[in-house]
Amino acid sequence: DERLAEHRKEMNERFAKIEERLAKSDERFVSLIEKMDERLAEHRKEMNERFLELRKEMNEQFAELIEKLTVTH
């Protein structure tokens, strides 16, 4: 009976440690996801800014081209 009680106690302690490790892993995983979400949002914002800048440049170049074509004809 004593050995069984001791074994149960050891198993409970092991399970408690495992649960503690899992909780820490969950926290790290959540933190990692949050960081990835932040980076993705930053990247998306940067890409949108680049796209708008490129679009503006293309519109300007297109306008210049049209102006050149209409002036020469």
Q: What is the pLDDT of residue 72?
A: 73
Residues of the chain with pLDDT under 70: 73
Q: What's the mean pLDDT when you consider all of the chain? A: 96
pTM higher than the cut 0.75: no
Cβ-count burial 57-68 (b if 16+ within 10 Å, e if not): eeeeeeeeeeee
